[in-house]
């Protein structure tokens, strides 16, 4: 089995709520399969514009913050999105350029998902140390 190490490759993670607003009881939660379909459709839209596809792994999770700030008891239902940037898919583009384009595409996907799910904030953490706090 061949093993290829990609120097400079990065990963990203974002956690997004699936119930709009604060001070709710996690009503109308989108299930993981439906979220997965929404992610695929969104990633396809971004790919059509950027020619950069960001595959991902998704899982359900809870975000915990103070109930006084609007967190439901036991935590807010969310989905964690994890993605790896693999520059080996593009042999013509320099790795730093590929990574920068990939980060922009991943961020665009998250921004669209925020709109679709009526979310106000999402933090995107990149393994290179960059942290994007998206509001809108």
Q: What single string gives the DSSP state of each residue in 52-112? A: -----EEEEEEE---GGGTPPTT-EEEEEEEEE--GGG-SSS-HHHHHHHHHHHHHHHHHH
**Tens digit of pLDDT per residue, the chain (136 long)?**
776 666 668 999 999 999 998 899 998 789 999 999 999 999 999 999 999 999 999 999 999 999 999 999 999 999 999 999 988 877 788 889 999 999 999 999 999 999 999 999 999 999 988 888 888 7
* Predicted local confidence at residue 32, as pLDDT: 96
> pTM value?
0.92
In the DSSP assignment, the letter for residue 8 is T
User: Contact 107/134 with Cβ under 8 angstroms?
Assistant: yes
Query: CATH 3.30.70: does it fit domain 11-135?
Result: yes
pLDDT of residue 19: 93
Rg (CA), the chain: 16
């Amino acid at each position: 089995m061949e093993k290829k190490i990609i120097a400079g490759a990065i990963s990203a993670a974002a956690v997004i709520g699936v119930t709009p607003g604060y001070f709710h009881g996690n009503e109308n939660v989108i299930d993981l399969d439906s979220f997965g379909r929404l992610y695929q459709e969104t990633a396809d839209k971004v790919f059509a514009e950027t020619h950069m596809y960001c595959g991902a792994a998704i899982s359900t999770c809870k975000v915990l913050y103070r109930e006084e700030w609007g967190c439901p008891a036991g935590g807010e239902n969310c989905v964690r999105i994890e993605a790896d940037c693999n520059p080996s898919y593009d042999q013509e583009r320099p790795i730093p350029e590929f990574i920068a384009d990939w980060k922009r595409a991943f961020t665009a996907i998250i921004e669209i998902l925020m709109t679709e799910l009526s979310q106000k904030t999402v933090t995107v953490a990149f393994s290179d140390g960059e942290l994007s706090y998206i509001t809108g």
